[in-house]
A = this chain, B = another copy of it.
Amino acid sequence: MPNLTPEMFAKLAATPLFEGLAQHEIEQVLKQASQLRLEADSYFFYQGDRARRIYILLSGQIKVIQLTPEGQQVVMRMVNPIELFGCIAALSGGEYPASAQATKDSLALSLHQDDIHRLMGIYPRMAINAFQIMVKRTHELQDRYRELATETVERRLAHTLLRLMEQSGVRKGKVILLDMPLSRQDLAEMIGSTLYTVSRVLSGWEARGFVEAGREKIRLVEPATLRLIAEAREFSADLAHAPI
């Protein structure tokens, strides 16, 4: 049983995974968990590792990355506190299909697949919750798939920044700061583009005052305008011939 602060425990109890479970039941589950603390840039697991543990992020942030055979990276998702990752370990006998890298110093709990399986048998509500979490995730991934299949880079980038804003945006006066290290390369890997194109789009937006884009940080000045761009109801950055 990891040594959790009461606040940590309260946060965990509020996780969708534990919804509907009694305090003592959650304690029973957490007895099986181990705790893992990693500093920024290190990995919880690598693509191809034997998948044995499911993780719950307590603090920090994780990036789930898939590597193509050609060595290109694709960012599958950003994981924020009290979210699950490494769920593939629920299927016995497989490998992690992606790597999980901390983007900040992070703390996570993990459960062995055997324990997960056993505990879900005892506490069906947890299994139902896990099912629902995955349904939701599939749904979100379908939306991103549709975006990738039908939208321009600019719209995809707008969608992505808005999503990041909702997940971990921090209000700073009138603007919203995306509170994570985020290079042009990272953004490109999230939307299936290149760092060059991302840089051009951001420059275009910055010239119009929609965002402020610094080195590995983005501030959203006019989220509403980004929303319009995402929905294709607003002019674009017009990469080619921006009239300043």
Q: Which residues of A contact B (CB under 8 A)?
A: 66, 68-70, 72, 74, 76, 87-88, 90-91, 97-98, 117, 120-125, 127-128, 130-132, 134-139, 141-146, 148-150, 191-192, 231-232
Contacts A121-B124, A145-B76, A148-B148: A138 and B136 contacting too (C-beta < 8 A)?
no
Residues of B within 8 A of A144 (CB): 145
Cα distance, A138 to B130, chains bound together (Å): 13
Q: Which of B72, B88, B124, B136 contacts A127 (CB 8 A)?
A: B124
Cα distance, A68 to B132, chains bound together (Å): 24
Residues of B within 8 A of A66 (CB): 142, 146
- CB A36 to nearest CB in B, in angstroms, measures 21
- CB A54 to nearest CB in B, in angstroms, measures 10
A121:B125 contact, CB within 8 angstroms: yes
A146:B68 contact, CB within 8 angstroms: yes
Residues of B within 8 A of A121 (CB): 124-125, 128
